[in-house]
């Protein structure tokens, strides 16, 4: 039987590379050193008069997020054996899975920006729930694809990857964690808005 603590730990453990991938771009956007890589991914282009993604989605953010999330997940994979201590309460992470989680997180975030621009929401304007869950949805979707590819079938891929209880914990927990994180980033003047 999994204890509640093990369930929570397993959920946070698995989604952590996506959290890292989603937070790093905000910090990196403040680095003078990387300023010249801060060009918007959409190159300023518009679709029906509205920006495709907007100035909030930069190459610098995309690459720094993917690299940071992948490296952090790789580190987790390295220390997992000693943390698990013989039991298997932490879901398995590999460097490739971390890369998929991080890449999915950034692409999920970009997808949400694309949708926000289509419905005329400016960067920084809130889209409740979508702003909080876009990156998690992208990360889980990419991780699910990779799990399916490596096991050769989509059957039970989600169960084999993390299982439904942890999935539920991630979805319920993330909006709160995200709001708290953004509030802290805003208080530290890293972000313009507390959401």
CB 182 within 8 A of CB 195: yes
Report CA dihedral (162, 163, 168, 173) to the nearest 10 degrees: -30
* Residue 138 site contact among Mg ion, ligand CTP, none (CB < 5 to 8 Å, cut-off depends on kind): none
CB of 16 to Mg ion, least distance (A): 19
CB of 157 to ligand CTP, least distance (A): 27
Q: Which is nearer to ligand CTP, 80 or 185 (CB)?
A: 185
* Residue 106 site contact among ligand CTP, Mg ion, none (CB < 5 to 8 Å, cut-off depends on kind): ligand CTP
Distance CA 106, CA 121 (A): 19
Q: Which is nearer to ligand CTP, 71 or 157 (CB)?
A: 71
* Residue 29 site contact among Mg ion, ligand CTP, none (CB < 5 to 8 Å, cut-off depends on kind): ligand CTP
Rounded to whole angstroms, what are the CA distances from 37 to 33, 110, 142, 183? 9, 17, 26, 26
Check residue 108 for interaction with ligand CTP (CB under 6 A). no
CB of 49 to ligand CTP, least distance (A): 17
Check residue 25 for interaction with ligand CTP (CB under 6 A). yes
Check residue 178 for interaction with ligand CTP (CB under 6 A). no
What are φ and ψ of residue 51, in 5° steps?
-55, 145
For residue 148, give every residue at least 6 positions away whose Cβ sits within 8 Å of its Cβ, in sequence order, or none: 154, 157
Structure tokens at 159: 């169960």
Longest dimension (CA), the chain: 58
* Residue 57 site contact among Mg ion, ligand CTP, none (CB < 5 to 8 Å, cut-off depends on kind): ligand CTP
CB of 90 to ligand CTP, least distance (A): 28
CB 136 within 8 A of CB 168: no
* Residue 25 site contact among Mg ion, ligand CTP, none (CB < 5 to 8 Å, cut-off depends on kind): ligand CTP
Which residues form the interface with Mg ion (CB under 5 A)?
109
């Amino acid at each position: 039987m999994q204890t509640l603590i093990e369930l929570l730990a397993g959920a946070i453990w698995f989604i952590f590379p996506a959290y890292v991938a989603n937070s790093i771009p905000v910090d990196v956007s403040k680095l003078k050193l990387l300023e010249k890589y801060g060009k918007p991914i959409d190159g300023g282009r518009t679709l029906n008069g509205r920006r495709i993604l907007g100035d909030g989605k930069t190459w610098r953010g995309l690459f720094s997020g993917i690299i940071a999330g992948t490296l952090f997940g790789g580190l987790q994979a390295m220390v997992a054996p000693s943390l698990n201590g013989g039991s298997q309460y932490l879901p398995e992470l590999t460097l490739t899975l971390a890369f998929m989680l991080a890449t999915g997180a950034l692409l999920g975030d970009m997808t949400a920006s694309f949708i926000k621009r289509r419905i005329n929401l400016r960067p920084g304007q809130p889209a409740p729930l979508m702003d909080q869950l876009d990156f998690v949805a992208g990360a889980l979707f990419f991780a699910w694809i990779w799990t399916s590819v490596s096991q050769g079938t989509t059957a039970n891929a989600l169960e084999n990857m993390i299982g439904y209880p942890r999935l539920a914990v991630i979805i319920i927990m993330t909006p709160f964690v995200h709001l708290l994180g953004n509030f802290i980033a805003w208080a530290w003047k890293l972000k313009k808005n507390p959401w």
